[in-house]
Chains A and B, each alone.
Chain A
Amino acid sequence: MKEILLGNSAIALGAVLAGVKVVSGYPGTPSTEVLESVAEFNTDGSIDVEWSTNEKAALEIAAGASYCGARSMVTMKQVGLNVASDPLMSLAMIGIKGGMVVVVADDPGPISSQTEQDTRHFGKYANLPVLDPSSAQEAFEMTKYAFELSEQIHLPVIIRPTTKVCHSSGTIEYDDEKYEYEIEGFIKDPKWVIFPPLSYRRHLEIEEQQKEISKMFDSIPYNRIEGKGKYGIASGGATYPIVKDIIEKFDLDIALLKVGAVFPAPMQLHNRFLDSVEKVLVLEELDPVIEEQLYYALAVNNIQKPILGKMNGFVSPAGELKYENTLKIIEKFVDIELIKDEDISTPELPARPPVLCAGCPHRASFYAVKKAMKGKKSVFCGDIGCYTLGNGKPLEMTDTCLCMGAGITIAQGIKKVEPDTNAFAFIGDSTFFASGMTGLANAIYNNTNINVIILDNYTTAMTGQQPHPGTGKTMMGTMSEKIDIASVAKALNAKFVEKVNPFDFEKAIKVVSDAAEYDGVSVVVFEAPCIALFKGDAPCKIENCIGCNRCIKELGCPALYISGRKVEIDKTLCNGCGLCINVCPTNCISKGD
């Protein structure tokens, strides 16, 4: 079989062919399509696939399945591993039975993330092997290998693709025969119960194991030296193919150390590489992990050799390595001019930052809160999701954003110090289930008078419409009873709980005003579907516009634009939500036919 697959889908296919039986995860760019592709390939329903409520739950589910001898996989983005780090650190002590792969996608740039953290450190922190694919093809092969390795060493194995691997595709050739095996089931044994003496004993064993795995990594095909030269470049991940393209294009005599199995470090290979060259450049995204390993190798052998990279400022410590900056760094390293600068001076082009979609219910929710709180001292704590875009002009309704679920709890901290502020927290439906419920319980328990606005658009929108407990849909194609967010809030003893459609303009403002007046924790659930879930109404019409631009200045809807001296509506974008009808002072806008 020969197909073009996205890196994430290639990981999924590798797992399916390796006989994975349970796959769990929480959506997060750039990792989301791994689990979605497993569900797509799961035509006979033999794999149990689920979106879990958060990454910690997902990792524990995969661990439980592995305890029984089933091959399992868990998927998340880098910040998700922070949430799942509690079970991961302990699981490294306990170990596993069925092969278990932990897919954690990193996001150099960052492009769609809060941090540029490097998951390879987590491998070192937890003493777990880390595989770092450089292409979709390699991601496919590495996934199959990761299951075998995991069973061989009785430890979970981390696969750490980055955005440029997750979201690039390659041609994959494969034999579609699945690995078959018997699942033994859970065998009771004290080894599954973590206690201090067990952890001490296991810690000694695991440290010994690291040396063995390091030796294995010295000679696997993902780690190798290509070409010869007195200058050496060490690289891995998505940077490796860029470096290789440059070496080939300019026919450079360079020894290229390619590190795909990055932790535990392949020390013999590193030594061999360092022996063969006079000086070294390390090109890797995020942190200087390979670079530190090479410094360590030199120190152990008591050798001095120049290593250029992030640690001495030769390479920027942050951001992506693209072809252009990589080429510049290599030029400086080999001290030959490889290409003449022919910068085209692009004229100033309009900025196009991402925005809330035309018709997005979040715009209506933010606007209702903004109107209700006009002139009153307020702070608006945001959270992670499409609604983080509420920070942009003209809404400017996101004053803080930290991490999943933090809006509700940051608001409590602010309220404690500024009791005269109306402290608002905005949180999406999926985020509420992932990590908002504990924060809400905390506010109610500790009597902190905050206003919690739950933006329920019936989906996990930012990552591409994944279902969650509030939708009832599952990744196995079944329906569960929906968990009602307002009922959850009431069960947590919230006394003010109101549901309202944010497009019911006057009522929405009234409910928010009442919530702010209420003495105690108030919960408003704004219910309206994400525009991606339904075919919208006919586009709105605009007639006799006087050109005051109030609709644009208040709402910033991308379907509204200025043409000459009047506002026009882009019919391809407008979904007829009608929010702007409430804003126009001369009633020029009306619902479409």
Chain B
Amino acid sequence: MDILISGVGGQGTILASKILAYSAVVEGNNARTGETIGMSQRGGCVVSHVRTGSVNSPYNPVGGADLLLSFELCEGARNIKYINKNGIAVINTTKIMPVTTSLGTSEYDEEQIKKFITDNARAVFVDANSLAHEAGSVKAVNTVLIGVAYGIGILDVSKESIIQSMEKNIKQRFIDLNMRAFEAGVRYGSEVQVKC
């Protein structure tokens, strides 16, 4: 299973990558991840790669990923090329406006971006920030998105393994919040019509 997670520095993509990778280890598989750590974490574009099974490199090739989990709309579009032909994109519709758009040096065309995504991938859009906010904090957007991916049936790990991984990787005092966020994502995902 090959997953690419994309977003904006500071959104918590690395935790999502840890949870997904460790849930594979819980089931006795090997997992590799590749992270963006450094200057890009200051509000720049970030990606995390998660690969389980018998590959050598932790980094997904273009056209290789089974799942794109994007924390932000335009970062989803930026990374659509990573999905394979049968792949699915789970896209948070939240927009984080780059300073360049506010300064007028580039444009954020929401409709064009959404169209590009649906033209090039089987996509599931979700307002994950709202679901996370309802669960208690927008910071839980990562577990909402993992929930959606699980809900649509694309992940090859069990719910129990994901929960076990969340318990290992999330601080105790944030567990309840993240369980609510994850369940909200699962409900959303299981109601969406996308065949896996």
Contacts and interface: CB of A to CB of B under 8 A. Distances in A.
B103 A4 contact: no
Nearest to B28: A2
Nearest to A8: B37
Interface residues of A, number: 63
Interface string B83-105: 00000000000001111111101
Given A344-B80, A346-B80, A357-B42, A324 B62 contact: yes
Contact of B98 (A30, A351, A464): A351
Contact of B39 (A111, A167, A170): A111
A281 interface: no
Given A164-B59, A242-B56, A552 B31 contact: no
B44 A353 contact: yes
Contacts of B10: 357
B165 to A, nearest CB: 10
B31 A171 contact: yes
Interface stretch (B107-115, B154-162, B188-196): B107-115
B103 A558 contact: no
B78 interface: yes
B63 A342 contact: yes
Contact of B38 (A4, A111, A169): A111
A354 B32 contact: no
Interface residues of B, number: 59
A245 B55 contact: yes
A349 interface: yes
B138 interface: yes
B81 interface: yes
Given A355-B99, A552-B103, A553-B103, A245 B42 contact: no
Given A29-B39, A324-B62, A347 B116 contact: yes
Interface stretch (A91-99, A386-394, A412-420): A386-394
Contacts of B57: 238, 241-242, 244-245, 323
Interface string A245-268: 100100000000000000000000
Interface string A417-448: 00000000000000000000000000000000
B74 A561 contact: no
Contacts of A323: 57, 59-62, 64
Contact of B81 (A170, A344, A558, A570): A344
B45 A352 contact: yes
A322 interface: yes
Contacts of B49: 168
A40 to B, nearest CB: 14
A487 interface: no
Interface in A366-390: 386, 389
A170 B99 contact: no
B55 A4 contact: no
Contacts of A349: 74, 77-78, 106, 113
A241 B60 CA distance: 12
A350 interface: yes
B142 interface: no
Interface string A111-128: 110000000000000000
Interface string B4-42: 000011100000001001100100001111111111111
B25 A4 contact: yes
B136 interface: no
Nearest to A32: B37
25 contacts: A29-B38, A164-B34, A167-B34, A167-B36, A167-B38, A169-B21, A169-B33, A170-B32, A241-B58, A244-B56, A323-B59, A343-B81, A344-B120, A346-B81, A347-B113, A348-B106, A350-B101, A350-B107, A351-B98, A354-B9, A462-B39, A464-B37, A552-B99, A561-B101, A562-B97
